[in-house]
Structure formats: structure tokens, C-alpha cells
Structure 1
Amino acid sequence: MEYFHRYAQAFDYEGGAEGCLLIHGFTGTPAHMRLLGESLHKKGYRVKGILLKGHGTKIEDMEKVTWQDWLQDAVAGYEALRKTCRKVYVIGLSMGGVLTLLLAEQYPVDKVVPIAAPVKIYDRKAYGAPLLKYFQRFRKWGGSGEGPTAEEFKDYKLGYDGFSVEALCHLLKLMKLGEKNLHQIQCPTLIIQSKTDETVKPVSAQIIYDKIRAPQKEILWLERSKHVCTIGPERELIHERIQEFLRR
């Protein structure tokens, strides 16, 4: 398999008896989660950053996969950590956040951290994907993106500049599945959401908070970040709050 950058590949950092599964988002790569992974590894955690099928190579590969493939990737990552770790925490960005919610609904996850997980999105045209896919194979991402990236972090800003419309249909399916059974989540939950997210409506975080049944739950509201907040200006705050949450 040919990756478009070395950081687009999965990563696995050995550590102690507590493991963290990191899951990137739709059209993204493990590069978006690598800074967080490095931060957690320095604190002694075993960290596994997975690559979802159809990502990190070429955009045409997205047409070959389904939501079931992505969920199975997440399950496989969770089960791999569960074999060696006493506790397993799942942390995901965007679609990866939805996958962490699905894992927490179906498996004995110890703690879950959905970051910018979509329940409601701004792009109304996205909901027409089931029809649009018959007329258009790919779409470019709109908006202004994440803005300038410091030279030292440019290798972490890696993902496709567009997406498969067919694959978007599968993302919409995952979003529905994730929201449907939120009431099944009872493990401690830290929800992270930026108020200035240009992709996911911030109300998504409140919906997740209100519907899960976890006795320990909280929302970390970001003030200055775009959607891919794990490589944004508040990344260090994210690292600190996640570490604090996992230590409790």
C-alpha cells in the first residue's frame, strides 16, 4: 500500500497497562491524532493510532469501503489494546468521534472522548448525498480550511482535499447509528467541541451530553479552534484536559 506521507500511516506507541485508541476523521489521517498520541505516550500510556480503510492513500480508495469497514477498524483497534491493557480509553476526532461513541455503546470501554463528533453539520447539501452520488463521484471541501499552519506542524495537517460522495453516504449512516443509541453510554465521557467549528454544529456536543447516561460527563468548549482542533491553536489545552480526565 502506498501512503501519500509517512505520517498518514498508523502508529503504535508501547506503554503501560492503560491504553488509548486514537481514531481520525472522515478524509483525515492518523497525522491529525499524532501530536495527541505523542503527548499521551509521554505520560506512560500505550497509544494506538489507527488508519481507517480508504484513507491515507488516494481519494479513489474511499469508494471501495463502507461504514461497516470503518467500524470494524475501530473494533479491531479496541480489541488489540484490550488484549494487553488493563484499561482502554477511546478518543476520536470527527467521524472518529462517532466511532468512539459506537464503541462505548457496544463494548466495555473505560472512558470515551469524542472530539468534534458530528450529530448536526452545517453542509445541507451533504444530506443529499444518497441522490448526488449518481451524478457526482467526488466533491472538494469548501470553506477556508484550517488556516496557516506553523512550519513545525505542517506534517500533521494531512488529509484528502475532497471526498467521495459515496463514502459520504456511509458517514451519514454512522452519524445516525451513533446518535440512536447514545443512551447506552454509561462510562465517563469527555466531549470536546469548538464553538467556531466550521463543519460540525456546536449543538452536537450538547445533544451527546444530554442523551448519554454516564454519571460522569462534561464538555470542554474550545473558543478559537476550527474543526480539526487537534492540530489547532488550542491543541495543548486539549492534551492537558484529556490527560486530567484520564487520570481521575
Structure 2
Amino acid sequence: MGIPLFKGSEVERLRLAGRAAAGTLAHVATRLQPGVTTADIDAWVREDTARRGGTPSQLGYKGFPATVCTSRNHVVCHGIPRTDEVLNPGDIVNVDVTTHLDGFHGDTSATFMIGEVSADAKHVVDVARRCRDVGVSVVRHGARLGDIGAAVMALAKAEGCSVVEEFGGHGIGRQMHGEPHVPHVARAGTGITLKSGMVITIEPMINLGRPDIRMMPDGWTVVTADGSLSAQFEHTVLVTRDGCEVLTPNELSLHILTSHPES
């Protein structure tokens, strides 16, 4: 089966799914503060997704036991929410939300800084956000898939960070994960040619230290092998003739102050 090209009403439904996911992520951002558990985040995602008429795409996916991935500090991705995992001042945490709405999926994530964080934490969060954005900036009809990874790699290297190679973005639409795989480590001018109507995620995982990772015994949680901090940001993106459209737009406050009120 080839990579689907979406048009017309399909694109509008993709927009709605993407906006729903982005809205839920924004809702979570307003409630983060020290003392919150990652299980609290899971409950908020479940409630807000339902309020928007959707269902959490991640729940039960290949056996995943939660509605959202919460990846704190040295966790690279796929952290499982827990009642005993508490956010403390100085932590960074990635919240990865995927919403299924009216037959389509929207996928987005951001890494938040809880209270006063170290200079290293600020740096890796900033670089991860900019790596996502530079990857998005090269997407257009006629570009090559490898152009995305080449742009991400160049920026991360210039900033003294590394890019996780084992995980990447993916096609998305009627399925949460589909073709193509979107590597964030690649050579420009390689890979498939992007076409108007393709929908992909761009979600580089950026480590402060080495790119090596290891899997925890739960079979889901991935951590940096050297214990260094890791951060990630993600958008769902529609390829267009003139460039691309971000389907999960959001203006988020990434720095959660210790006095931030729950709302």
C-alpha cells in the first residue's frame, strides 16, 4: 500500500484531530506544577480528550497501558504515567498526546520545565524545540525525506547535542502510525520525494549527551544510556505545494513556575 495523499474533507478532519490534540496538550500545560504526578497528567488527558469528542489513540496501542506518554528528565520516550512519579522543581517532562477524532489522528508533544531548571535543561529543551521547527521548515512538495533529518542533525550538532537514531516520525492519518518512517538522522537529498497531501509527524528526540539509548524492563520506557537529559517536541504536518501546514498549532508556555496555579 502506498503512502496516502489526503485532500478535501479528509484534510479538514485531519485539522480537527490535530487541533484537538494540541488543545489537550495546552490544557495539560495549564495544570502542570510541582507535586503533580504523571498519573494526574494521564487522567487530565483522558478527561480533556473525551470533552473534545475524541479518544486517546495511545491507550491500548500494542498494549500500551495509558492515554499519554510522560517522559521525565533522562527518559527519551514512551514513559508510562505512574501514581508514584512526582514532578519536582528542576525536572523537565515531555507530554505526548495523540487524539483520534472522526476517523483521523492528531499527534503532538512538548517538553516542559518545572520551576527553576539547570542551564543544561534549558539548553536541551530549547535545542529540541528548534530542531523540530527546522525540520518542519524544509517540508514542501518536491523535497526529499532525508532533508528533514539533515536539517535536524546539523542544528543539534552545532548546539553540542545528539539526535536519537532508533526512533523517528511517521505517517499519520486514518492510522496513528503508518508510512513513511521519518528519520531525524539522514542525508539531504535522500529518501522518498514528499508530495502535496502527505501527512507526517516531525518529532526529534534530542539528548544532552550521547545518542545511545536503552530499554527499561517494562518494555516501553526508553532512557538515555548515559543518564543525560533528553527533550522532544512534535508536530503533525501536512505537505503542501508551497511548503507545509502545521496541523497541531499551539503557543505553549514551556516554563512552569513553582507558583503556577492549577486551573
Same fold (TM over 0.5): no
Please state which structure has a larger fraction of its residues in strand. Answer: 2
Q: Which has the higher contact order (CA 8 A, sep 6+)?
A: 2
TM-score w.r.t. structure 2 length? 0.30
Please state which structure has a larger fraction of its residues in helix. Answer: 1
